[in-house]
Structure 1
Amino acid sequence: MQIDRLAPVLSSLQPSNHPYLNGAWTPQHEEVTAHHLDVIEGAIPADIDGVYLRNTENQLHQPLGRYHPFDGDGMVHQISFSGGTASYRNRWVRTRCFAAEQEAGGALWGGLMDKTGTSKRPGFGAHGGLKDSSSTDIIVHAGKALSTFYQCGEGYLIDPETLAPLGLAPWVPLDGISAHPKVDERTGELLFFNYSKHAPYMHYGVVDRDERLVHYIPVPLPGPRLPHDMVFSEHWAIVNDLPMFWDQDLLKRDIHAARMHDGLPSRFGLIPRHGAPEDIRWFDAAPTYILHFLNAYEEGDEVVMDAYFQDNPQPAPLPNEDGYGHMMAYVDEHSFLPRLHRWRFNLTDGSTREERLDDRVLEFGMINQRVAGQKHRYIYSTTTRPGWFLFTGFVKHDLETGKSWTLMLEDGRYASEAPFAPRIGGTAEDDGYLVSFITDENRGTSECVLIDARDIEARPVCRIALPHKISSGTHSWWADRAVLGNRADTPVDPAHNG
């Protein structure tokens, strides 16, 4: 393995017993480029060609208050596959807040757990009281990677192959973009929403394959809400108004405390992809909170949507002598209990039908993105360690047969979100690989694994050593080499008329 190390950045972080600044969540501050990665087991297949990108929270400076793992500075880790070989690199997301704190030599902003007034200066973007660390999600659209923030942020563009910073996404509105914009590979469009504390409280937009904001409309809501994700079918974008949101009385005192509001249903807004506000159709459903959606598709008179229904959206604090019990409950899936769930919205009579697909605690799922917006057969979910935000394995569901298969990691080994990478020349929906970074606490190392998506219970196709141990994190993306250039010359699917 050939390793090139970049000059270090300034850090003021001190040793801490914080549960999310240690172990598998120990921040990684080193930036490297590594070629000719060593293969620990198996062989890198020649029928995979592209990049796996994973965003990660890595706190760089001593927190001003009570650190939350989602406050950490964004760092993108990438592994590139080509011709049976692999290379790796990682880079900070060089946001405006990152630059300001480097200049100041320390933290300037408080975090999600801190009281108003902790920050030393106003932030940038839509939610200026928080540092926009751009450390939540990463996607690839129009040949560029886009990193996003847990709450509405500015959106930072990155070269997906070199990880060189490309600045702010110029199309992002003043109210920012939510953590999870969506890419329709069939049309090249990016769909997004944002939310705020001022009327109309939500907007929805479409960015075309040439990075132009071509559609942007208000989505009026009854008040401030806390949506996190969205989903789309061929002709509809689906946003949500869920009963888990800020306590309105406390919000008047500038206290941001989320709670379930009894008596309110979940509401899902179906928006024609380029429709007007008056075209939005709202469907009521059982009250819950949804962190992540999987996919939606149209079937007869219905729009079918799969996501993770939370059985306990407002969990009680976990026992913790250091006072982090509330935070730990909200990042522990075994506290808020997400289950694989299906909704059917009837476009003819306006009714909603719901169905539980699995009673296990599952989240952070993936599908083959080539079928996004179309009927999907397979889902790849993650399992987690009780009491912690740490991925311990994967579950594959075959929605046609009802079967499922599970791959659990050894104790002390923790995965990252694993997108599906189609095999070159593959035609079946599950003909490809799951790609994941593994942090091994037993050995103090990290690696990348490729798992045969058709047989996830088998041993990994290969295990590839990384040059350093990396921190656990949140979201990831797979991009085929063919889509890494600008796709403006690629013909749009003529079947799409949305």
Structure 2
Amino acid sequence: MRVEIVKQYTSRLPAEDPHPYRTGAWRPNTVEVDAYDLDVVAGEIPADLEGVYLRNTENPLFDALTGRYHPFDGDGMLHAIRFEGGKADYRNRFVKTEGLLAELEAGETLWAGILEAPALSKRDGWGARTRMKDASSTDVLVHHGVALSTFYQCGEAYQLDLETLAPRGTANLHHPSFPKGATISAHPKVDEATGELLFFNYAAEAPYCHVGIADAGGTLARVIPVPLPGPRLPHDMAFTERFAIIGDFPLFWDPAKLAQGSYRARYFPDLGTRFALVPRDGQGAIRWFMASPTYVLHFSNAYEEGDAVILEGYHQGAPIPERTPDDTPISTFMKSLDMHAMKTRRHRWRFDLTTGETKEAPVDDECSEFPTIHQGYGGKKHRYVYAAVGEPGFFLFSGLLRTDVETGAKAIHRFPKGVFASEAPFCPRKGATEEDDGYVVTFTTDVVNDVSECQIFDARGIERGPIARVRLPMRISSGTHATWAPLSRR
């Protein structure tokens, strides 16, 4: 392995940092590196695995203004590993957002975090609630050969070169009707059948939500307002051949507190859940379908079947986890990031386009989240889902789960104690023609041995463990979302 240090940054975090999401598996990285011909410590890299695995990371350099740091405040850092010819190279880069560059120049924190009041921010900013930093640390995907990094509270789509991670400015997705500083949210979707990018945004002021569609070349083609009764907090979207799907969930900023400038989420289960089926061509009315109250962070897919639309996602049985008399502010905070406390299970909704009725049911009793599928099946009926299994009590992934949604068969791999994985996309084998013919790839962080690896699994046998383990040049922080881009997508 040959390693080149590109840039070393100075951390402004406390020297003795007690925060559970800036220590352990979440210890931030402060150096950008390029590494070539990585060491394979077990197995062999498949020769027919060709592409780039990209993962975004909340990686803070600065403390919160009042010390109330939330892991989603961290600055975006992309980690990328490139496979070709049975070899692998690695590089990582901060997403050079306007906010991060301003704080680096000032040498101090300028914007309030999610757990802090926006009024504390020292400058105007971005996001659905404004006056916060667009950290661009949530999601990453690839559209028309460019990596796009996005933030879940809305901001810009930061573009990076897929091979070098060099910054390439922001995507031109602006529209006069969009809220200021909140162009796009995580999680946009790419329809591989059309090449279109589907995305949404949301805001605390009317108009509260839009769906946007960019063509295969990245040019904004359509903007469709989604009428909502007030500010909402959608986190993900889904799509079918004809529709974009947005959820109106009964977990949103408390209107009474919002009127006082406080952004605190409250659960209103009596309102139930609504789903909007938004015509992608911008023609015709938006169709609304009622469902049981919940909150959904991530959908695995949606598709059309006869006169119905099928949506699959991760239903939360307890969007606001139950508090006990023994809970402290810290334990309550930890529960809010724990998929076990939120009782997250895979769920299916069926929207009848003829009758307007919704039928829904849980389809798995395994607690899991962060799903991926073969990206070529987005918006079409899929058979296989790959998801992360959570570490109880933490926002960490201690296993990978493959589910055959047609038969219900499941396979699971659990990592050794102290080893935590990342979102693991499906990577089609070069020349593959079947949905599950390929690999599942993930980054791991081993806090016991202080190392990180990229582990490669046969998608048809993840329970057998990794078929190859590739050593990274340093231990990397845990992170959130990831994607796979075949080399042919360059």
Distance apart, 1:397 and its partner CA: 0.7
Q: Is the 8 A contact 2:269 2:294 kept in 1?
A: no
In structure 2, what is the Cα distance between the partners aligned to 1:353 and 1:307? 14
In structure 2, what is the Cα distance between the partners aligned to 1:153 and 1:316? 32
Question: What's 1:288 paired with?
Answer: 294
Matched positions, count = 483
Q: Does 1:253 align with 2:253?
A: no
Question: What's 1:208 paired with?
Answer: 215
1:236 to 243, 246, 268: 243
Q: Is the 8 A contact 2:128 2:204 kept in 1?
A: no
Q: Does 1:64 align with 2:74?
A: no
Q: Does 1:422 align with 2:428?
A: yes
2:138 to 136, 139, 144: 136
Tell me which moved more, 309-318 or 259-268. Answer: 309-318
In structure 1, what is the Cα distance between the partners aligned to 2:52 and 2:445? 19
Q: Residues 314 and 272 from structure 1, CA distance in 2 versus in 1: closer, same or farther, beyond 3 angstroms?
A: same
Question: What's 1:5 paired with?
Answer: 5
Distance apart, 1:320 and its partner CA: 9.1
In structure 2, what is the Cα distance between the partners aligned to 1:321 and 1:342? 33
Deviations 1:2-48 (A, max 9, x none): 00001323432222101111000000111000001000100011001
Q: What is the RMSD of the two structures over their aligned residues, measured on CA atoms?
A: 1.4
In structure 1, what is the Cα distance between the partners aligned to 2:328 and 2:55? 30
Q: Is the 8 A contact 1:318 1:329 kept in 2?
A: no
Distance apart, 1:279 and its partner CA: 1.3
Question: What letter is aligned with 2:241?
Answer: E
Distance apart, 1:228 and its partner CA: 0.4
Question: What's 1:270 paired with?
Answer: 277
Question: What's 1:89 paired with?
Answer: 91
Q: Is the 8 A contact 2:334 2:393 kept in 1?
A: yes
Distance apart, 1:117 and its partner CA: 2.5
In structure 1, what is the Cα distance between the partners aligned to 2:444 and 2:323? 28
Question: What letter is aligned with 1:103?
Answer: E
Deviations 1:41-73 (A, max 9, x none): 000110011100000011101321200000001
In structure 2, what is the Cα distance between the partners aligned to 1:180 and 1:442? 33
Question: What letter is aligned with 1:156?
Answer: Y
Distance apart, 1:443 and its partner CA: 0.2
Question: What's 1:488 paired with?
Answer: none
Deviations 1:260-285 (A, max 9, x none): 11311110011111124x51000001
2:107 to 96, 99, 105: 105
Within-5 A mapping of 1:465-476 = 465-476=471-482
Distance apart, 1:322 and its partner CA: 7.8
Gaps of 5+ in 1: 485-498
Within-5 A mapping of 1:257-406 = 257-276=264-283, 279-316=285-322, 323-406=329-412
In structure 2, what is the Cα distance between the partners aligned to 1:476 and 1:267? 28
Question: What letter is aligned with 2:231?
Answer: P
Gaps of 5+ in 2: none
Q: Is the 8 A contact 1:317 1:328 kept in 2?
A: no
Question: What's 2:29 paired with?
Answer: 28
Deviations 1:98-144 (A, max 9, x none): 11001001211120111232222211465432111100000000110
Question: What letter is aligned with 1:460?
Answer: P
Question: What's 2:226 paired with?
Answer: 219
2:441 to 423, 435, 440: 435
Tell me which moved more, 59-68 or 302-311. Answer: 59-68
Structure 2 SS opposite 1:153: coil
Deviations 1:278-303 (A, max 9, x none): 51000001110000001011111111
1:407 to 409, 413, 416: 413
Deviations 1:408-444 (A, max 9, x none): 1111000000000000121111111111000001100
Structure 1 SS opposite 2:340: helix
Q: Is the 8 A contact 2:418 2:446 kept in 1?
A: yes
Q: Is the 8 A contact 1:378 1:396 kept in 2?
A: yes
Question: What letter is aligned with 1:115?
Answer: A
Distance apart, 1:359 and its partner CA: 1.3
2:169 to 167, 170, 184: 167
Q: Residues 186 and 14 from structure 1, CA distance in 2 versus in 1: closer, same or farther, beyond 3 angstroms?
A: same
Question: What letter is aligned with 1:405?
Answer: A
Distance apart, 1:470 and its partner CA: 0.4
In structure 1, what is the Cα distance between the partners aligned to 2:128 and 2:329? 30
Question: What's 1:493 paired with?
Answer: none
Distance apart, 1:172 and its partner CA: 3.5
Q: Residues 391 and 319 from structure 1, CA distance in 2 versus in 1: closer, same or farther, beyond 3 angstroms?
A: farther
Question: What's 1:43 paired with?
Answer: 44
Q: Is the 8 A contact 2:129 2:204 kept in 1?
A: no
Q: Residues 334 and 374 from structure 1, CA distance in 2 versus in 1: closer, same or farther, beyond 3 angstroms?
A: same
In structure 2, what is the Cα distance between the partners aligned to 1:319 and 1:177? 40
TM value normalised by structure 1: 0.95
Q: Residues 440 and 320 from structure 1, CA distance in 2 versus in 1: closer, same or farther, beyond 3 angstroms?
A: farther
Deviations 1:168-218 (A, max 9, x none): 111244431111000001110000111111222111110000111000021
Distance apart, 1:327 and its partner CA: 2.5
Q: Is the 8 A contact 1:48 1:424 kept in 2?
A: yes
Q: Is the 8 A contact 2:209 2:226 kept in 1?
A: yes
Structure 2 SS opposite 1:326: helix
In structure 2, what is the Cα distance between the partners aligned to 1:125 and 1:309? 25
In structure 1, what is the Cα distance between the partners aligned to 2:65 and 2:400? 36
* Identity score, percent: 53
Q: Which runs of 4+ in 1 moved over 4 A?
A: 317-322
Q: Residues 321 and 269 from structure 1, CA distance in 2 versus in 1: closer, same or farther, beyond 3 angstroms?
A: closer
1:198 to 182, 192, 205: 205
Q: Residues 58 and 321 from structure 1, CA distance in 2 versus in 1: closer, same or farther, beyond 3 angstroms?
A: farther
Q: Does 1:186 align with 2:193?
A: yes
In structure 1, what is the Cα distance between the partners aligned to 2:225 and 2:86? 48
Structure 2 SS opposite 1:283: strand
